[in-house]
Amino acid sequence: MKLTSSITPQESHRLKALVKELGLPLKMLPEILSLGREDSLTWWSHNDASFRIPHSTFSRLTDLTGINEDHLFSGEYSKDLARRRILGDHTSLPDRYLENKNSFVRTSDHIIRYIALTRGQWFADQVLTKLHVSPLIYKDLNTQINLTYFADLLKTLGNMGFSQIELDTLASVNFLTLHETELGKQFQQSGNYFDVYKTLAGNFQQFDSNFEYKSDFRGKKYYLKTTIALRDHSFLKNDLESMTRLLRYRQILLAWFPYLAGMAPLFPQTDQLIRSDYLEVQYEIKLDIETRPPLGLRVV
């Protein structure tokens, strides 16, 4: 039902921007706008749709956020505070992500920042809402979560239109921030590929504690065996597609450590053994490539 709007087109624009800024779930729109579900979504999707939206909509947002209507409208308010008030407790997780919480959300923070940069905070919020976790979960990067969450995140992004090239990029983007850390600086001291992987072999526990790692340097090769008991990850163990996606991500991750020292990525040969309750991946990396190949790579 299309009716004359009771808020101006400018106010309607601002209202949409506010919904995005606040990360307001779309399921709350009917209640906020005093419209039916279908009309709410039509208003949301079309620039020219003019519905009778009462001015009290802004008052309802004020009730939700505890922030003065004028400040909300002008954008002069704390977005963090408003989002916390709307989105509530960010620490509660679905059962699916409670089992063996051996990871920190920090390990996927670069992915969420990539999404927010390229699609906007609102899109990033939608991704997290689909996973039934609070959009505020990344406020505390030390929040513990399990490997299934990470696998689900990659799967959801694939379902939401991310191409394989883009999903592969997510593994590499991690290194743009890693180089600023203490460990990143250690990698920067490397003079060759051997040094890079020697540093990595001594620091796996800083990246992941879901897998067990066994490193071996023989001749001019680095052998790495990673194993994981899938019985500890019951939501993942029968999901071969998710495991494959996860292993691809990890293979790219392993290849990119030399980038921290200004060297080209070095992709390992892999051999996977997947059993119903156990997964083993052997990586073999040839280190006999000349030191600092002339790609001129530098972390900038």
Asked if 1 is part of the footprint of other proteins (rule: CB under 8 A), the reply reads: no
Query: Cβ of residue 175: shortest distance to other proteins, in angstroms?
Result: 7
Cβ neighbors of 115 (< 8 A, separation 6 or more) are: 123, 124, 127, 157
**The one segment of 10-18, 76-84, 95-103, 142-150 that binds other proteins by CB under 8 A:** 10-18
Query: Is position 132 an interface residue for other proteins (rule: CB under 8 A)?
Result: no
- Cα gap 195→261, rounded to integer Å: 10
Nearest CB to other proteins, comparing residues 101 and 119: 119
Work out how close the CB of 278 gets to other proteins at its nearest, in angstroms, rounded to a whole number: 21
Binding mask 99-128 for other proteins (x = CB under 8 A): ---------------x--xxxx-xx-----
- Give the one residue of 2, 3, 8, 13 binding other proteins; rule: CB under 8 A: 13
Selected range binding other proteins among 23-31, 87-95, 132-140, 165-173, rule: CB under 8 A: 165-173
Per-residue mark of binding to other proteins, 196-235 (x: CB under 8 A): ----------------------------------------
Residue 81: partners with Cβ closer than 8 Å, 6 or more residues away: 65, 67
Strand runs labelled E in the chain: 103-104, 144-145, 212-218, 221-229, 269-274, 278-286
Do 228 and 279 meet the contact criterion of CB atoms below 8 Å apart? Answer: yes
Q: Which stretch binds other proteins (CB under 8 A): 160-168, 189-197, 199-207, 221-229?
A: 160-168
Contact (CB, 8 A) for 251 and 267: yes
What is the residue whose two structure tokens read 């916390």? 84
Residue 97 or 249: which CB sits closer to other proteins?
A: 249
Least Å from the CB of residue 234 to other proteins: 26
- Partnered with residue 273 across adjacent β-strands are 280
Using a 10 angstrom Cβ sphere, with 0-12 exposed, 13-18 middle and 19 or more buried, the burial of residue 61 is buried
Q: Does 169 bind other proteins (CB under 8 A)?
A: yes
Contact segment (CB under 8 A) with other proteins among 29-37, 79-87, 192-200, 268-276 equals: 268-276
Piece in contact with other proteins (CB under 8 A), picked from 87-95, 96-104, 152-160, 258-266: 258-266
Query: How remote is the C-alpha of 100 from its chain's centroid?
Result: 19
Can you read off the two tokens belonging to residue 51? 């519905």
- List b or e across 166-180, with b for residues whose CB sees 16 or more CB atoms inside 10 angstroms: ebeebbebbbeebbe
Q: How many residues bind other proteins (CB under 8 A)?
A: 34
Tokens of residue 270, six digits: 């892999």
Residues in contact with other proteins by the rule CB under 8 A: 13, 16-17, 20, 47, 114, 117-120, 122-123, 165-166, 168-169, 172-173, 175-176, 248, 251-252, 255, 259, 264-265, 267-270, 295, 297, 300
